[in-house]
Amino acid sequence: MTIDDPAVLLRTLFDAAVAAADPRTVLAAHLPEPPRGRCVVVGGGKAAAAMAQAVEAAWPAVALSGAVAVPEGQTLFCRRIEVIEAAHPRPDERSERAGRRMLELVSGLGADDLVLALVSGGGSSLLSVPAPGLVLADKQALTRDLLRSGATIAEMNLVRRQLSAIKGGRLARAAAPARVETLLVSDIPGDDPGDIASGPTVDGRGNAAEALAILRRHRVEPPAAVRALLENAAAATSSPLSLPAPRLIATPMMSLRAAADAARARGVVPMVLGDALEGESRQLGLMLAGIARSVREHGAPLPAPCVLLSGGETTVTIGAGPAGRGGRNTEALLGFALAAPPGCWALMADTDGIDGDSDAAGAIASPDGLARAAALGLDARAILDGHDSYRLFDALDTLLRTGPTHTNVNDFRAVFVGEAPGASPIRGPQARRRLVS
């Protein structure tokens, strides 16, 4: 393959990023010593079923039991570990049943037993046990409003930890005196273990006062029971957990490095801009277009042709008006396309295979995409303002439909910047100096 086909190149890089985060190939090396007693597996998230499969394959002689929760339609077959379907991104009664099942599984264990927690992004919704004094409807209403508010995933998880009987290390507390070991697939900018699925086996940052501040900042009015709980909990304290450090088996940076290696193998120079880019989706797209323009016109921060790689998780602030269909990746991609210089291609997609509430992981933008959209009668700026980016890329037939990938290391973005016609890009030692400066 050559860079004569940028769309194929970008899809190859995405596939490399996802493969690097597949628990079935990376988990076994991170397993702890098997226990003298029982081994109970618990957990949840978009990667949980694949993680359970990997544990079963690596420990054929260990007596395993337990359960993990996954989003609806993402079940994988396991022989000894139960796989439970629950709701995502908004918790429902199945989420509460799954959370209570995890608490039940870890109760009554002894010091020789091991609780192996398999945790990945999505677990916050899949394992949802309201704190005493709350009902599930309170958490559902708050989750809905937070999703629309533009709050970051870290802010949302801080709030959810304060309202849960399982998050923020409470599942680990329920397992005492058993040993608790946690394997993590990170979908969180910064890879904070307490933020991944809101940390059911990890003491998380934050407190009730900070949760209230987040709600005020994003103008989210919580249900009365939630406000009362947070206000009453502001003075409460609990002793810290004493647990082995969680083990990160897959992270966004690991996947970005795998994609960079795949680019080099195909003769394309990559630059990783970062694994924790956040902010409003369309604004991030605009920023990436600005970097691409600098590459195209000035050969900085590196000369074209090249590929710019980044990860992280952006937000889409819906506001009070109606919204169309799409997710943060297609919204960022459309923002990029509207500002990109000529000769640029981009792929933006969620590594879990699902962008927002759509059936696509994301999409690919080509240099002629907006002209083709206009010929179809589509107003790209109006579509972006209406948060309806899925419709545009669907009409162009450039949506990326992978189905569930059974992993989740957050968003993946790759921008290919081609040479300008007649350009004389900087080569040799001067180019190398720019790459390392």
- Same domain membership, residue 64 and residue 203: yes
* Position 180 pLDDT exceeds 90: yes
* Position 435 pLDDT exceeds 50: no
* Position 153 pLDDT exceeds 90: no
Query: Does residue 1 lie within any of the structural domains?
Result: no
- Same domain membership, residue 258 and residue 246: no
377 C-beta neighbours (distance < 10 Å), count: 7
Query: Does residue 118 lie within any of the structural domains?
Result: yes
The pLDDT value given to residue 243: 74
Binned at pLDDT 50, 70 and 90, residue 320 comes out as low
Residue after which a domain boundary falls, among 219, 250, 281: 250
Distance, CA of 55 to CA of 84 (rounded, Å): 17
Binned at pLDDT 50, 70 and 90, residue 174 comes out as very high
Residue after which a domain boundary falls, among 221, 250, 279: 250
- Same domain membership, residue 126 and residue 275: no
Q: How many domains does the chain have?
A: 2
The pLDDT value given to residue 12: 98
Range of the domain at 165: 23-250
Question: In this structure, what CATH number is given to the domain that contains residue 93?
Answer: 3.40.50.10180
Query: Does residue 141 lie within any of the structural domains?
Result: yes
- Same domain membership, residue 244 and residue 291: no
Query: Does residue 285 lie within any of the structural domains?
Result: yes
- Same domain membership, residue 154 and residue 246: yes
- Same domain membership, residue 76 and residue 35: yes
- Which has the minimum average pLDDT: 164-178, 188-202, 219-233, 236-250? 236-250
- Same domain membership, residue 84 and residue 108: yes
Residue after which a domain boundary falls, among 199, 231, 250: 250
Query: Does residue 182 lie within any of the structural domains?
Result: yes
48 C-beta neighbours (distance < 10 Å), count: 36
Residue 196: name the closest of 246, 243, 142, 258 by CA: 246
- Same domain membership, residue 289 and residue 150: no
The helix/strand/coil state of 309 is strand
- Which has the minimum average pLDDT: 211-215, 256-260, 304-308, 427-431? 427-431
82-86 and 411-417 strand pairing: unpaired
Distance, CA of 150 to CA of 331 (rounded, Å): 14
* Position 424 pLDDT exceeds 50: no
- Same domain membership, residue 194 and residue 241: yes
The pLDDT value given to residue 152: 85
Average pLDDT, the chain: 91
Convert the pLDDT of each residue in 27-68 to its tens digit.
999 999 999 999 999 999 999 999 999 999 999 999 999 999
The pLDDT value given to residue 434: 32
Question: In this structure, what CATH number is given to the domain that contains residue 416?
Answer: 3.40.1480.10
Q: Which of the 8 DSSP states describes residue 283? A: H
Q: What amino acid is encoded at 8 in this protein?
A: V
Query: Does residue 237 lie within any of the structural domains?
Result: yes
